[in-house]
Structure 1
């Protein structure tokens, strides 16, 4: 993916969808307690945390990323710099497919969860979804199995949108005849494990 490509892609998809992608659909589905202490692992620039605060969230929200934006702490998923049982929810949104040791990251997320807390893993796109499926057995303890949800939203894209989205992945579609409009879907797979 090109530098900044995911930011441009998400901004374009948010405009076409009419809500912030993927933060708004995810937060709508999760319905976190407004006082929960939340850790977003792989927070990047902190978009999900800002969306949570904009909803009136009063609990502490912490973001962690190896290349943090403003208000996000520097750190890695495989070695969380927090004490045991310190968060009500740990979010791993579109991050596991990018990690060298996703099983270790999930173990660390479980370590910092309070009893009754929720571990949330979300993946978007076929590559992320395929990686999540391959990791599934190694990541989730049983019983109980995680709660699963597929958030699927129709989106209408212009040829310009399609070219820009392809470019965010380093693909060049210039000169190609594309259908107008193109109807597609946005898909976010969400798995929640209650501790």
Structure 2
């Protein structure tokens, strides 16, 4: 919610839906829906198709389910979304296989994750430069939202990652960016 406030729009669900330009009649499955923000954003936009969110620890309006064992028949959805969740799953290959199973022929699985520029300046100001990580294939879309973070924002973000550190107010505000990389997976992958 704080990044949404700083970006001036719903981050990442609003930015992701803007970029994907989903037809309002498509049936959408949000895997790893958490508190259901993406599901609610689709409803707020008047999405007419069926929208289902699943998560092992679901919030309101989200069904309990694991990505590796989706409780839906074959060919149930037009779009399957993994927004900032695939990297956290114990069996990514099984989760993608399940997504393809519940996907209708000719439709798409979309995977979105934070990119290397996501909050880079803030982490550097906190003395925690990000590790380079492994290389990813070229994303279909990249979304970047410039923002300015205060020392209070940085302290809050540290807490969301389960981190504690002394935040030096003189290092802030920081001009930074939230970033999301989005990949499109065809059913044949």
- Report the TM range for the smaller structure's normalisation: 0.7 to 0.9
**1:155 aligns to what?**
147
Cα 1:164–1:147 shift into 2, 3 Å: closer
| Structure 2 Cα separation of the partners of residues 166 and 70 of structure 1 | 26
| Structure 1 Cα separation of the partners of residues 43 and 135 of structure 2 | 28
Matches within 5 A, 1:1-195: 11-124=1-114, 126=116, 130=133, 133=136, 148-174=140-166, 176-195=168-187
| Structure 2 Cα separation of the partners of residues 171 and 66 of structure 1 | 24
1:127-146, Cα deviation, whole Å (9 max, x unpaired): 8x94683xx6xxxxxxxxx8
Look up the SS of the partner of 2:100 in the other structure.
helix
Q: CA deviation at 1:175?
A: 5.4
Q: CA deviation at 1:177?
A: 4.1
| Structure 2 Cα separation of the partners of residues 69 and 100 of structure 1 | 21
Look up the SS of the partner of 2:101 in the other structure.
helix
1:123-168, Cα deviation, whole Å (9 max, x unpaired): 11558x94683xx6xxxxxxxxx86111111111111111211222
The answer to whether the 8 A contact 1:150-1:189 is kept is: yes
Look up the SS of the partner of 1:58 in the other structure.
coil
How many aligned residue pairs are there?
Answer: 173
Unaligned runs of 5+ in 2: 117-129
The answer to whether the 8 A contact 1:97-1:132 is kept is: no
The answer to whether the 8 A contact 1:38-1:89 is kept is: yes
CA RMSD after TM alignment: 2.0
| Structure 2 Cα separation of the partners of residues 131 and 12 of structure 1 | 28
| Structure 2 Cα separation of the partners of residues 175 and 181 of structure 1 | 11
| Structure 2 Cα separation of the partners of residues 168 and 175 of structure 1 | 15
| Structure 1 Cα separation of the partners of residues 100 and 15 of structure 2 | 24
| Structure 2 Cα separation of the partners of residues 188 and 154 of structure 1 | 12
Unaligned runs of 5+ in 1: 1-10, 137-145
